[in-house]
Amino acid sequence: MRNWKFNHIDFSSYPFYSENDLGVFWSPEKTKIKIWAPIAKMVELRLYKDGISGEVYHKTNLQRLENGIWSTVLQGDYEGKFYTLKINDGEWLDETADIYARCVGVNGKRGMVFDPGKTNPEDWKNDKGPRLNDFTEAIIYETHVRDFSIAENSGIENRGKYLGFTEENTKSTNEISTGLAHLKELGITHVHLLPVSDFFTINEEKPFEKYNWGYDPQHFNALEGSYSNNPYNGAVRIKEFKKLVQVLHLAGIGVILDVVYNHTYFTKESVFNQTVPGYFYRQKTDGTFSNASGCGNEIASERAMVRKYIVDSLKYWADEFHVDGFRFDLMGILDLETIKTIRAELDKTNPGLFLYGEGWAADQSPMPEHLRAVKKIFINYPGLPDLTMTFEML
């Protein structure tokens, strides 16, 4: 039986990979797959025609490269096909999508090969959100995608969905403005959306049977399917969300995403632990998983490839989806160096993004408090950028 204690491992000895090409990337001629799995002895890619059912129709092994990288190239057009990885590090781990999966099938069981260009709404290249002179100018409206339009009397056709934000001039049965029209009359500058990255607890095939805010992450780079009109095709949810962003931007309203990089819903079963066991999570001195999130685990943001992952993920959301800021759930779990890196890296390509978060943790962490982005430490920490333009501590 696998030992899930890690106090015997020096994770700082794991190799670092600096390039920005991890994940699955489609082109008409070929699809490139590259993952970081430094202790793997074998990595198997499995292809499917369906996102949740059906048998594997093709298997191939990735090839080991330097710095913990495994890679392969599929010749031909694989758009619309689904994939998983299965890693052997001395024994076989579970079958999962890759940790960088940007497009997934229903319930996130399998990754999906897709053409990003086909997910862009018309005139997407000219889409741009507002930028303010100072964070004190912001009027931020926090909402949940489902809650925003789910009321039966909302007058909105796409109730509880991404597209519910895109409908013009909707009114309730008693002629009160709803949806986008209501946001416009409020005079807000930004909408803060509760988590829209793929989370576990809602069955996307039956999205209204259960309710959840979304703070139970499964895939950080893929969108949640329960808010889509077609949860089976991951590319559809991407296009729908881009349309949400575009319509809000046309109304002069920015989009801020609530992000949850402090923990995952699963621990042992997570895509991270099924790729590089132990590395992405902090441990107690006895080697078991620590739990500053109060949700079963906490992300080890201070480790080099975890920090890279978080920065890569944020840059992806900012660049691909044109979002205008991020609110960090339990930011006090993340280390200060990662927070500084996030600000610096995002400013290179997206200056003016709003970044703020909760400056506390939910429980004790093995990382000393003075090294984490907690409110009392963060405000007085030397060497950080101008805090008035960087983080608002809620």
Which residues are annotated as catalytic? 329, 358
For the chain, which residues make up each domain, given as ranges? 116-394
* Consecutive H or E run containing 133: none
Q: Which of 313, 310, 394 is nearest to 357 (CA)?
A: 394
Per-residue pLDDT of the chain (394 residues; tens, 9 = 90+): 899 999 999 999 999 999 999 999 999 999 999 999 999 999 999 999 999 999 999 999 999 999 999 999 999 999 999 999 999 999 999 999 999 999 999 999 999 999 999 999 999 999 999 999 888 899 999 999 999 999 999 999 999 999 999 999 999 999 999 999 999 999 999 999 999 999 999 999 999 999 999 999 999 999 999 999 999 999 999 999 999 999 999 999 999 999 999 999 999 999 999 999 999 999 999 999 999 999 999 999 999 999 999 999 999 999 999 999 999 999 999 999 999 999 999 999 998 899 999 989 999 999 999 999 998 876 665 545 443 334 444 4
Token output for 366:
């093995």
CA 143 centroid distance within chain: 18
**What is the identity of the amino acid at 278?**
G
The C-alpha angle 195, 199, 204, rounded to 5 degrees, equals: 110
221/195 Cα distance (integer angstroms): 12
pLDDT for 379 equals: 67
The DSSP-derived string for 15-70 is: PP---S--EEEE-SSEEEEEEE-TT-SEEEEEEESSSSSS---EEEEPEE-STTEE
The pTM score is: 0.96
- Top CATH class, 116-394: alpha beta
